[in-house]
Amino acid sequence: MLAVVPPPVTVRVPAKVNLHLAVGNLRADGYHDMVTIFQALSLHDDVTVAVADDPGVEVRGEGADSVPTGPENLAWKAVQALAAHVGRDPEDPKVRVVIRKNIPVAGGMAGGSADAAAALVGLASLWKLEIGRDELATLARGLGADVPFALYGGTALGTDRGDQIVPVLARHPFHWVIAFDKGGLSTPEVFVELDRLRADGNPPRVGAAEAVLEGLASGDPRQLALLLGNDLQAAAVSLRPNLRRTLRAGVNAGALAGMVSGSGPTCAFLCTDADSAVRVAAELAGAGVCRTVRVAQGPMPGARVVASEEAPRPVPPEVHA
Ligand SMILES: C[C@@](CO)(OP(=O)(O)O)[C@H](O)COP(=O)(O)OP(=O)(O)OC[C@H]1O[C@@H](n2ccc(N)nc2=O)[C@H](O)[C@@H]1O
Ligand SMILES: Nc1ncnc2c1ncn2[C@@H]1O[C@H](COP(=O)(O)OP(=O)(O)O)[C@@H](O)[C@H]1O
């Protein structure tokens, strides 16, 4: 009898911005204590998993050239972790992963983590596993601090390494402009730079997360704009001084506030509404301070299987006259 091969599964997974990011002390495990508030945005990667005899990873789209396709790819690590967890052979999981990237690579928007979360959700569906989000989150935690949030999406508080996730009330959509920088920044290097700045002086520290939670609940972007903060910003700007110009240009273009997203170098600008975001994006793109500008809104759902009509279609071959 012929075995039935299940159809490929495509998962859409959002980028994140940290509305609040408080970094505590360096711990013995090499991580810093962290309190952060994540918001998932309408900037996403699509990850397709399929049963295949030629296992591996393919990456297309934004920054694809700088993403590893071997065992270091975070989505592949997720495949291996889930295979081991359910008693399949992690060295021969018979799965092919295709990642279509829109999230900037090494940009502080957790694109690699998003792909890992998407691979977990996609495989759970492909392999018809009885496995809940919380069990996937335990696996996700082993892959990286940002991976659990990408499973849940929405707006959430992250504590411990930023990987213990509790959903947060955010009643209204918020409108963002996202500025991609040229090239990425290494997350560990940004943390090392923050420790260096703290050893030498007193870089600014964000206030309490509670005020940001109230700002979110109010739904008023003007209130929230006053409360955004990121302890890693000083370190990212120290490594990439040009970000100062980008941050200034976004506010001059009419954004309510601008900040470095996570470890950077992407900058995120909160705007009054959708129309204002489009105007700010156009003016920022004209200012020539960054590589690419996008508008986005949040909160968005976490990694979710998309129906085949929504899944990206194969790119038709180029036609030359
Ligand atoms: C900083 C944040 C903010 O959301 O993300 P990005 O802005 O880079 O996307 C995250 O904490 C990054 O999460 P993720 O990228 O998954 O980090 P991991 O792979 O687990 O860790 C990479 C390295 O970052 C440092 N790290 C990360 C998290 C944390 N709480 N303390 C740390 O010191 C450590 O040096 C660690 O070895
Ligand atoms: N699927 C993936 N997508 C992007 N980067 C990946 C992936 N897998 C591994 N990486 C590596 O992880 C590094 C951090 O990537 P990313 O998650 O995009 O950035 P950040 O941690 O700043 O949010 C990249 O430099 C890349 O080498």
Any ligand 2 atom below 6 A from CB of 110:
yes
| Ligand with the closest atom to the CA of 111 | 2
113 annotated ligand binder:
yes
Residue-wise pLDDT tens digits, 209-249: 999 999 999 999 999 999 999 999 999 999 999 999 999 99
Q: How confident is the model at residue 109 (pLDDT cuts 50, 70, 90)?
A: very high
Can you tell me which atom of ligand 2 is nearest the CA of 77? Answer: 8
**CA-closest candidate to residue 77, choices 48, 118, 42:** 118
Residue with CA closest to ligand 2 atom 13: 106
Q: What is the pLDDT of residue 321?
A: 34
Alpha carbons 134 and 129: distance in angstroms, whole number: 14
CB 193 within 8 A of CB 238: yes
C-alpha–C-alpha distance, residues 110 and 7, integer Å: 28
Q: What is the pLDDT of residues 116-158, one digit of tens each?
A: 999 999 999 999 999 999 999 999 999 999 999 999 999 999 9
Mean pLDDT of all residues in 86-113: 97
CA of 67 to the centre of ligand 2 (A): 7
Does residue 307 have a known ligand-binding role?
A: no
User: Can you tell me the distance from the alpha carbon of 58 to that of 75, in angstroms, rounded to the nearest whole number?
Assistant: 10
**Distance in Å, CA 273 to ligand 1 centroid:** 31
Among 26, 115, 146, residue to substitute to test ligand 1 (most atoms within 8 Å of Cβ): 146
pLDDT at 318: 43
CA dist 268 and 295 (Å) reads 10
Domains in the chain, CATH or no CATH each = 9-169 (3.30.230.10), 174-298 (3.30.70.890)
Average pLDDT, integer, range 165-190: 95
Ligand 1 centroid to 162 CA: how many Å? 8
The residues annotated with a catalytic role in the active site are 16, 146
- Position 1 scores a pLDDT of 62
